[in-house]
Structure formats: structure tokens, C-alpha cells
Chains A and B, each alone.
Chain A
């Protein structure tokens, strides 16, 4: 499939009074036409900053893209002028924000907020803009759209507002849609509806989606491919199957292991990753995850691991993948998943060889 967006060695820093925070440190990934790429990671791992950097929405100062390329249709977005970016934002790349309660302008009608983008990018006004707005509202599943045009955000529920935010993002048929934790602020039933809606829209419009989330359940439901971020870096990326059933990075093990499952024994504590993420004012030498990693080796504290390729689509940055590294057995939850759902994979076989304690 054709690559539509390619991020190469992207680095973003924030200059604060305390010093320079390296929020994103040399992140690379590709986004293909029509696919959904999920970027997962805990708070502060740099996933939102990465997505905002793609749209050049990082306020400067204090933020700054210090390195890397964001290639979109032959242009490097990292180097475009602010004026050239105006033509990309909202037209080619659009964004859905986390909190629908705050991302709509409280003093502007729904119609105006949607039609604004239409006017800006497609020159639609009057009846044309109204027709397209009604189409969009229908597309995002707003009942009785005609009546909503004149309403203000406070007259709609959270779920409805998020649908409006999605309609705004879809207004100009963007080629890339960045959804920055679009369901985090919603309750579970509404979450499911919004996820269904996004999938449905992707089928209808063929837009590529970058889905930022820390909810692995959502990832399993939505994504084609997954990139796991930790401390401003991508530590593992692969197809959704590879990440869930053949994960290689101990951080991915930790994340998956801490995901609650219906089969869990209710009397047992949910596993958690010990410690806290590193301070990115002074990123640690070596693997940033090493201090929290029960599998850490000496080299993890000394030298940063490179990206090891596991398959055509699967990469992970962990010294455990080095040919000279000792065989380790992943945590039980990970072993169970792999053996249950992918018993024939090389990963499952290596688990069996590595001994099942």
C-alpha cells in the first residue's frame, strides 16, 4: 500500500525555565493510505506531541521541532512556512481532540464552526456550505441535523459534541485524520459509538487515521498497525497482531500485562509497571525503560538499543533481541496470549523452548 505520511527522525523539544525537555526523540514511522496506525504509550510518552508536531500545532516558543522530516505528498511539513501550512491544516490533515467539552467554541453556532473550514479551503458559502454541513452532520450520525445548525455547543451532550468535532475534522475530506485520544473524555457506551463511527467513516472515505491512545482495548478494536512509545521514542512497532501476540519489548510486555481481562482472578492484584517514566529534561543514557525493566541487562544502562527488525513489519528496540542476548521468558500473561492465539508463531515456539516455568 502507498505511504501517505512518513515521519523521519522527528525530534521535538520544549524550552522551559528548568531546561530543555526532549519530549519526542527521533521518532520514525510511516502511515499508509486508508490504514489506522495506533500510537500507544503512557502519559508523557510524547504521543500527543508527535501528533501536534505533524500539524505544526506546537506553540513556538516554547516548543520547537529540532530535527527530522514529516513527509507528506512530497513536501516536508517540518520546513513549510506558516502560510503554506494553512493549506494543509484542516484540508489534507485534520485533527480530532480529546475533550469535546472544551474543543468547541462556546459562543459560535454549530453551523458556523463547521462551515468555517469549508469556506476557508473550498470556498463554499451560503446554500452550498449549508448543504455540505447537513451532509457531514448526517455522516457523523447527528439526528435531526437541520435543527442543530443554529444550536450552540452547550446545548449538546458530550457524545454529540465529539460527533461535531469529528464532522469539523471531516469537512474537507482530509487524507489523514489524527485522533488524539478521541474517546478518553467520554463514558464507555459513547466511546464504543464513537469508535464505530470512526471505523465506519474510514470505510466510507478511505482516510488514513493516526489514533493516539493509552487504551489497549481501543487499539485492538481500531488499529491495523501499532507503534508503542516510551519516553519520547518508539520502542516497538508492528501490526496489531504482532504487538498483541508476539510483543518483544519488555515495555510492551508491561503494558499488555497490565491490561485487565475478564478471565482474571478477581482476588489477584492487577500487574503494574513499577516506577515512573524518566524525566525528559535529562533523558537517561541507554534504554530509557531500563530502570523499570525487570529484564534489564547491563548494556541497557550503557547504550541505547537500536531498532531490531523481527519481520517485514515488526520492529523493536530492545537488547533482548540481540543475537548474543540470553533467552528470556516473557511474563505469564504475554505467554498465555501468544500460546492461546498464535500457537504456531516463532514467538510462541521460542517461549516453549525458553522453558515454561
Chain B
């Protein structure tokens, strides 16, 4: 097990290095410059600024410098925000993003599981059709549409919840719901299919033959087995949440990482683009590893790394 994790982490590092390299060279191809009011700057000023940020060095030199700094955990300074280190910017922004992502993931998984299980138990009834209708909508309508609808109806018309910003727990409700709908929908559909699949299994008949009640059969025998395949989609889904946050954070003016990322791209803030990309990549690599480990916890047949 320990060996397996070590091996995966090594692969993860290689992936991370490749991403760092590709992003760096892609960045070089970006048109424009990081200076916003370029027309007001003289040629000399631009030269001086470029010198200061090392942008006049040849590409391989810049790459070497960049890698050297990266190994020391230095992501450079932002071009825009008064020379603040990128690590500081990320740390400052990570709170709201993490909170939003986790809340949405937990809410979506919970509601999705519930909808899927209930739909499967009440297969081919009104409840089943109802919950599948909800999930079809949840999958096909993009989250920013929900966000706008929720802002308009719940925020503006009913005046129940704040429309934007990130001040109190109440402010987190609408963005969380908007972000979680896609998760809810995917999980519900997946779990329903798996539950129906499991219903026909011999061990479920055996559980029934033991004299167990319907509830005990569903919760003890079916749900866990139905969840195993659902875990597979948790990884990509988390990725979806990460990208989903870019839009949702923008719409609800949440001071999070997604917002920072999107803004940095529009401003050609090289070091921030690189920093956030690498941060997301690292996070993603770790999440995928965690999901794989979770597999082994839920399904005893999977023992990672071949050790017993």
C-alpha cells in the first residue's frame, strides 16, 4: 500500500513537471503583454520592465530560471497586483473556493445518492420519473443558467438570499446550489442504474431469503455495492467542479481561485496563470489518487499495490 502510494506520487510528480513545461511554452505563444496601459509606456520603459521581470532573456534561460524557482516553491510575483508573490495570492483566494467546492460536492453527492436510491427503489413509478426528470435537467442545463435563474428569483424577486459576494454563510447558499446541480444529476443517474443492476444480484435474493427487511437489504447490501462504480465518476466530477467554479465564482463575485485564474488570463498575468494552473493540476493529481484509494476502502476486492 505504502509502496503503491509512493509510486503514484512519483508518477504524479512527472505529470506535474510535464504540465509545468507545456504551460510555460504555451504561455510564450500568448499574444499581447502583461502591461495594461502599454500605449502610455515608452519603448525604454517597456524595456526596463521587461528587464526587471526577466522577459528579455532567451526562452531556455527563462525556462531554467522558472524551474529553479518552482523547485524552491517560488511561483514568482504577480505582474498586476503590486508585485505580490503568486503563492500569497493563491493562499488568500483558496478559502472561498475550497469552501464552495466542498459544499457543492457534499451537497451534490448526498442529494444525488438519495435521488438515485429512491428512484431505483420506486422503479417505474412517479417518484422514479420525477427524480430522473430533475437529473436530466441538471445534466443538460449549464450551471450558469441556474445561477442566473436563482439570482433572479430567489435573490431579486423573493429577496430571500444575497445575490452576490462572499460575506456570510447565507452568501454561500446560491453559488453552492448552482454548482451542485450538475453533480446531483450525474450521481443520481449513475446510482439509479447501479441500484437497479444490483437488485437482480443473487446476494440480494439471498439477503431477502435471510428474512431481512426491505430497508436492511437496501442500505446494507445494495447501496455500498451500487456506490463502487459511482466512485469512478467522482474524480472527473471533481475536475468538473473545479472548472465549474470559474464561471460560478465570476457570476456570484466570489473572491476565489477561479476568479483569480480567469482574470489573470484576460490580463496576461503570466506568473499568476502559471501558478494557478499548476495549483489546479497538483490538486487534480492528488484528488485522482484519493479517489483510487477510496476504491480500495469501499471495495474489499481491490487491494492496491498487490499487498494483502
A binding-site residues for B, Cβ under 8 Å: 55, 57, 86-91, 94-95, 97, 99, 102-108, 116-117, 120-121, 152, 154, 165, 168-169, 171
Contacts and interface: CB of A to CB of B under 8 A. Distances in A.
Contacts of B228: 107
A103 B210 contact: no
A105 B211 contact: no
A106 B299 CA distance: 8
Q: Which 7 A-B pairs have the closest CB atoms?
A: A90-B211, A89-B211, A90-B210, A103-B202, A102-B202, A152-B300, A105-B203
16 contacts: A89-B210, A90-B212, A91-B211, A95-B209, A97-B209, A99-B202, A103-B202, A105-B203, A105-B221, A107-B225, A108-B224, A117-B211, A120-B210, A120-B212, A154-B300, A168-B210
Interface in B124-156: none
Contacts of A116: 207, 210, 212, 216, 220
Contact of A57 (B201, B209, B212, B221): B209
Nearest to B206: A103
B307 interface: no
Interface in B102-129: none
Interface string B171-206: 000000000000000000000000000000111011
A108 B209 contact: no
Among B207, B208, B209, B228, the most chain A Cβ lie within 10 Å of the Cβ of: B209
Chain B facing A: main interface SS: helix
Interface residues of B, number: 22
Contacts of A99: 202
Contacts of A90: 209-212
Given A106-B299, A154-B301, A89 B209 contact: yes
Contacts of A108: 220-221, 224
A56 to B, nearest CB: 9
Contacts of A86: 211-213
Given A91-B211, A95-B209, A105-B225, 14 more contacts: A86-B211, A86-B212, A87-B211, A88-B211, A89-B209, A90-B212, A97-B205, A97-B206, A99-B202, A102-B201, A104-B206, A105-B203, A106-B225, A116-B216
A107 B224 contact: yes
Given A105-B221, A152-B300, A55 B203 contact: no
Contact of B301 (A106, A117, A120): A106
B219 to A, nearest CB: 12
Nearest to A92: B211
A107 B300 contact: yes
A107 B206 CA distance: 14
B298 to A, nearest CB: 7
A90 B207 CA distance: 9
Contacts of B205: 57, 97, 103
A97 B211 CA distance: 15
Nearest to B204: A105
Contacts of A57: 205, 208-209
A104 B300 CA distance: 13
B211 A168 contact: no
Contacts of A120: 210-212, 216
Contact of A102 (B203, B208, B298): B203
Nearest to B228: A107
B203 to A, nearest CB: 4
A127 to B, nearest CB: 21
B209 A55 contact: yes
A86 to B, nearest CB: 5
A104, A105, A120, A152: most-surrounded residue (chain B CB, <10 A): A105
B209 A104 contact: no
B300 to A, nearest CB: 4
Given A57-B205, A104-B203, A106-B225, A152 B301 contact: yes
A24 B221 CA distance: 30
Contact of B299 (A89, A102, A103, A107): A107
Contacts of A154: 300-301
Contacts of A91: 211
A121 B216 CA distance: 14
A103 B224 CA distance: 16
A278 to B, nearest CB: 27
A289 to B, nearest CB: 31
A245 to B, nearest CB: 35
Nearest to A90: B211
A121 B211 contact: yes
B253 to A, nearest CB: 44
Nearest to B225: A107
